[in-house]
Copies of this chain bind each other. A is one copy, B any other.
Amino acid sequence: MERSDLPPDVVIRRLPLYARSLRYLLEEGIHSVSSQELGERINVTAAQIRKDLSYFGEFGKQGIGYDVEKLLQHIERILGINQHWPVALVGIGLLGQAIARYEGFRTEGIEIVALFDADPAKIGQKIGDLTVQDFAHARWVIVEKQIKLAIIAVPALQAQRVADVLIESGVRAILSYAPMILQVPEDVWVRYIDPVAVLQSMTYYLARDQQLEH
């Protein structure tokens, strides 16, 4: 393969799963792994893993496999999660609070450093060591802290307005929990967390199987 081939986005989206699995291996004290073994843990074929990694270099040893720690470091470097990425969270409802307190977000490159809400009842409230700030001041904080990544956890109808402000302030990637497709400039990345859509896509298969039973 030409190294000039850009890695497809599907590959980029699998890398965090590889990284996580490698971290679990390390915790178990396993220091060497083959593409086969790694694949079995995360339900991906061995060929897929090898092909994915080949976009970025040669990290394994024939006859042996991969050094877990080294491969993890390579992947973290590729993803940029060896760096520190400050994240803004907008919307401190129940979901926002759960996100703000979730330990899993305090790992590998990502740290929530600012909380925003427009509700006066929420502004000033403390969550962990952070204080909820007025969304009206978001711009200043985002510029000041050089925040490029944001999480949106506001109701559907407010999501676009919030996204517009964030992007204007310098945010370049958004993770949105709002059930609403956002319109953004093409140099901004948006991904969605949409549990309802996910459940509704699974009911298709359940309904179909139910048919077959009768």
Chain copies in the assembled complex: 2
A124 within 8 A of B: no
Beta-carbon contact of A191 and B181 below 8 Å: no
A201 within 8 A of B: yes
Chain B residues with Cβ below 8 Å from A191 are 198, 201-202
Chain B residues with Cβ below 8 Å from A179 are 20, 104
Beta-carbon contact of A42 and B207 below 8 Å: no
Beta-carbon contact of A189 and B175 below 8 Å: no
Beta-carbon contact of B94 and A199 below 8 Å: no
Q: Mark A96-122, 1 if CB is under 8 A from B, else 0.
A: 011101101101111000000000000
Q: Of B19, B79, B110, B204, which is within 8 A of A79 by CB?
A: B204
Chain B residues with Cβ below 8 Å from A210 are 80
Residues of A152-183 whose CB lies within 8 A of B: 172-173, 175, 179, 181, 183
A3 within 8 A of B: no
Q: A55: shortest Cβ distance to chain B, in Å? A: 11
In the complex, A199→B106 CA distance in Å? 12
Q: A44: shortest Cβ distance to chain B, in Å? A: 9
Q: A12: shortest Cβ distance to chain B, in Å? A: 5
Beta-carbon contact of A12 and B199 below 8 Å: no
Chain B residues with Cβ below 8 Å from A9 are 201
Question: Do A13 and B173 form a contact, CB below 8 Å, given A203-B109, A206-B148?
Answer: no
What 15 additional pairs, Cβ within 8 angstroms, besides A79-B200, A189-B202, A189-B205? A9-B201, A13-B201, A15-B201, A16-B194, A17-B194, A19-B200, A79-B201, A93-B98, A94-B97, A99-B195, A105-B195, A108-B196, A109-B200, A173-B206, A175-B202
Q: What are the 3 tightest A-B residue pairs by CB atom distance, in nearest-first order?
A: A80-B207, A16-B197, A16-B200
